[in-house]
Each structure stands twice: as structure tokens, then as C-alpha cells.
Amino acid sequence: MFETPMPLWEVFIRNRSGLPHRHCGSVHATDEVMALQAARDVYTRRGESVSIWVVPSTAIVASDPSDKDAMFEPTASKIYRHPTFYEIPEDVGHM
Amino acid sequence: MYTQALNTKEEAVATRPEDAAKLARFQAIVDVEDKIEPNDWMPGGYRKTLQRQISQHAHSEIIGMQPEGNWITRAPSLKRKAALLAKVQDEGGHGLYLYAAAETLGISREDYCEQLHSGKAKYSSIFNYPTLTWADMGIIGWLVDGAAIMNQIPLCRCSYGPYARAMIRICKEESFHQRQGYEIMITLCRGTAEQKAMAQEALNRWWWQALMMFGPSDKDSMHSADSTKWKIKRFSNDELRQKFIDATIPQGQYLGLTFPDPELKFNASTGHWETGEIDWSEFKRVVAGDGPCNRDRMKVRNAAHAAGAWVREAAHAFAEKRRARMATAKVAAE
């Protein structure tokens, strides 16, 4: 029997420690209300979360893994962006 | 819970010459213990192995709700009932984490479920045995979940990111399952003579089945080379089985129970427990579909899926109506 597939939603939860929302998995649901309820039941059975985001999976725009080098490689040569690149005399103390 | 079906091999996928460079890059990522993510290039065999392994693992969790669901209404106290209910709910949750991970490999949950319902996909054979007494709830937590944990801890380091992440969540929760099971066993073993006899009888029925959960002996299982190279499988079936035996025998002795194996003995020179020969003909028979509950488990699953069809349809219809209403309200407001 053919059934209409249920849309996929990506689930992000924020735990109690005040960290940012983190991706934890996905759920199937017909709308955002059902997606939130399903996310609560599936991913927060042990007080893992104080906040949930659900996002339609189709709304996520991702970088292409085959572009990884072109995307991220340029930062590797820019060592002057790191504090350790700069020399400060020890006499100055911690900076 | 766990599926033992790690040992069926996919047909070797012919590697096209242009894939050689990609294959080398893939293997290099795996070799340095980095993770492969859903959109990364991966060999066809790797993808297929994971599609099968993760989905069959998910099916096992879902079918695994049945043997224990059987006892929820008959749990001996409110505390035991609440714990069992939470545990069965966890199994459902584990199934869903795993379907979510499996879907990242390009097959939808509907299709995976269809493979289960049609009988094409397997699930762990351990769930094809009946749960005859309350002591079986203790045994399942202690031995079946205990064996599952042995199998699953190495999977937390699996090279496929979504599977590894799902396994980390699952392992945290399985620990509760095993402890609640062992506590049931302790209570029975410290109880009346009848209660202790019930615990012993359950151990007699489940011990060999628990050992079979690790899959065929290494000498009969020639299929793990690729899985090992791809860092999906970290230890052989026999290695994991031995770890489980060594961990479990002292726990059984603490309970004052006897393992149903006259050949069981401790080898002081190796530091390991040695068991008698496992009856693999029974294992093969149950995997092939002829266990005590194979047909019943499938019937119940298919009936539950069919009985839920109107709920899924209603959810779609409701969402559609809500979207239409919101669109109308928006137009009216403009």
C-alpha cells in the first residue's frame, strides 16, 4: 500500500548547561507541532533539554563535502589570525 | 538491544577506475579514526553494509518491544511497571535514532519499514523466543541487554558519524536496562524458593540464546574483513562473546544461580571462562524463520502498522487543513 511519506525534520536541543542548540537527530512529522512533540519524546526522555528547535530538513543548505578543500583550506595559511603568532616579551606578563 | 546480522556479506561492488583516488581518500579518513559523514563519498559496499546493519539494528529495537511489552500489564508492582514501561519506550526510541541514522544513507524510513514488514529484512533472533515468566524480564535486562552493551560499545567508535552518535546515546540508556534487569534477578534470588526457582528456570532457557546473540563463531564467519577494514566492526564475534562470558559468570554466581552448561569451567592459565559447544543448528533454524515466535512477532508488527494507518492519514489531513487555514488567514489579513 502506498502511503504519503512524512516529511523529515532535523532536531536541535539545548541542554541545561546553557550551551547552544546542538543537532541530535531527526524525526518524521506532518507539521511543526507534531515534529516538536516527536522530538520531545524521542530525544529528551531524561531531562537532556530545556529547549528544542525543529527545522524542515529540506530547509537546510549545506556546503558540498567535495568543496571542503576550497572552502576551508585558505584559513590554514592565515596563522596571523591566532594570538600565538604575536610575540610579546615575557616581562609584559600575561596578555 | 542488538541485531546479530553483521555477518552476511554484500556482493562485492566493482570499483570503477575513477573511484580509486576517492577510495584511497576514504580509507585514509577511516584509518586516522576520522568520521565519514552522510554526504561524503563512500564505497558502495560500505553504504550497503551500513544500510543493512543499521536498519536491522533498528528493526531489532522495534521488534524487541514485544517480548517485554508482553509483561507490562502483569508487572508485580507499580515500580516495576513504570520501569518496564520506560524501558520499552526506550527500545522504541532506540529504533527511531537508528532509523534516523540509516536514512542518512539514502533510503527512507518507509522503505526500511517495508523491508521489515515484508520479511525481507532480519532482526535479532533473540526476540523470537517467548517471555514465559516475570523472571524473563530480569533475564532480558541482565543478559540480553548485557550482551547488547558488549556489542554496542565498540560501535560508538564506528567510522560512520551518524551511527556512532546514535550508539553513544543508546549505550547511555542501555545501562539502565541492564541494571534494572539484574535488580529483578537479585530480588527473585533473595525471595522465596519458588522465586529463586523461577530465576533459575529463566536462566536455563536464555543462557545459550544470549551467547548466540554475538553471531556465528569466527571460524564460520568469513565476512568481517571489509567491516573491520572500514572500522564498522572492531572485535570479532568470538572476542565479544568471550568478554560477555567473563563478565557474566561472576554476576550469575553472585545470584547463586547455576549456568546450564556442564562443561563450563575457569581456565586459570588464560584467565577466561570456557563454555561447551553452542548448538548452531538451533541458531540457524531461528534465523531462517523457524523459531518459537518468528511468525507471531511479524504478525503483531504488521497488525500494529496497519492499525496505525488511519492515524498517519489523519495527521497528514490535519496538517494539510491547518496549512490551508493559515494561508487563508494570511490572505484575509493582507
Banded model confidence at residue B6, pLDDT cuts 50, 70, 90: very low
User: Residue A49: what pLDDT?
Assistant: 85
Q: Tell me which of A48-62, A81-95, B1-15, B315-329 is least confident.
A: B1-15
User: Residue B2: what pLDDT?
Assistant: 43
Cβ-based contacts under 8 A for chains A and B: 52
- Which amino acid is present at B49? T
Of A31, A42, A66, the CB nearest to B93: A42
| Whole-angstrom distance, CA of residue B305 vs CA of residue A81 | 56
A6: chain B residues, CB-CB within 8 Å? 312, 315-316
| Whole-angstrom distance, CA of residue A76 vs CA of residue A68 | 13
User: Residue B167: what pLDDT?
Assistant: 95
Per-residue pLDDT of B227-269, as tens digits, reads 899 999 989 999 999 999 999 999 999 999 999 999 999 999 9
Tell me the ipTM for this assembly: 0.82
Residue A94: Cβ within 10 Å count = 5
Q: What percent of chain B has pLDDT over 90?
A: 81
B108: chain A residues, CB-CB within 8 Å? 5
Q: Cβ separation of B40 and A65 shorter than 8 Å?
A: yes
Map grid coordinates 496497519 to a residue.
B306
- Mean pLDDT throughout B109-119? 94
- Given strand A8-14, what is the order of strands in its sheet? A22-28, A8-14, A51-56
Q: Cβ separation of A28 and B86 shorter than 8 Å?
A: no
pLDDT exceeds cutoff 90 at B226: no
Q: Kind of pairing, strands B272-274 and A22-28?
A: unpaired
Banded model confidence at residue A46, pLDDT cuts 50, 70, 90: confident
Q: Cβ separation of B309 and A46 shorter than 8 Å?
A: no
Nearest to A31 by CA among B127, B318, B309: B318
User: Residue B207: what pLDDT?
Assistant: 98
- Mean pLDDT throughout A51-76? 87
pTM attached to this predicted model: 0.89
| Whole-angstrom distance, CA of residue A38 vs CA of residue B312 | 13
Measure Cα distances from A81 to A85, A86, B142 in Å. Answer: 7, 10, 54
- Mean pLDDT throughout B185-193? 98
User: Residue B4: what pLDDT?
Assistant: 44
Cα angle, residue B232 at apex, residues B37 and A14 outer, rounded to 5°: 45
Q: Cβ separation of A42 and B90 shorter than 8 Å?
A: no
| Whole-angstrom distance, CA of residue B294 vs CA of residue B129 | 8
pLDDT exceeds cutoff 80 at B16: no
- B207-210: long-range contacts (C-beta < 8 A, 24 or more apart)? B207/B143, B207/B259, B207/B260, B207/B261, B208/B260, B208/B261, B208/B278, B208/B279, B208/B282, B209/B125, B209/B126, B209/B129, B210/B126, B210/B143, B210/B144, B210/B146, B210/B147, B210/B244
| Whole-angstrom distance, CA of residue A17 vs CA of residue A50 | 9
Q: Cβ separation of B316 and A62 shorter than 8 Å?
A: no
User: Which class is domain A8-89?
Assistant: alpha beta
pLDDT exceeds cutoff 70 at B157: yes
User: Residue A2: what pLDDT?
Assistant: 64
User: Residue A15: what pLDDT?
Assistant: 86
- For the record, the C-alpha cell of B154 comes out as 565498540
Banded model confidence at residue B223, pLDDT cuts 50, 70, 90: low
Of A26, A31, A45, the CB nearest to B100: A26
pLDDT exceeds cutoff 70 at B134: yes
CB A50 within 8 A of CB A16: yes
Q: What is the domain partition of chain A in residue ranges?
A: 8-89
pLDDT exceeds cutoff 60 at B206: yes
CB B201 within 8 A of CB B231: no
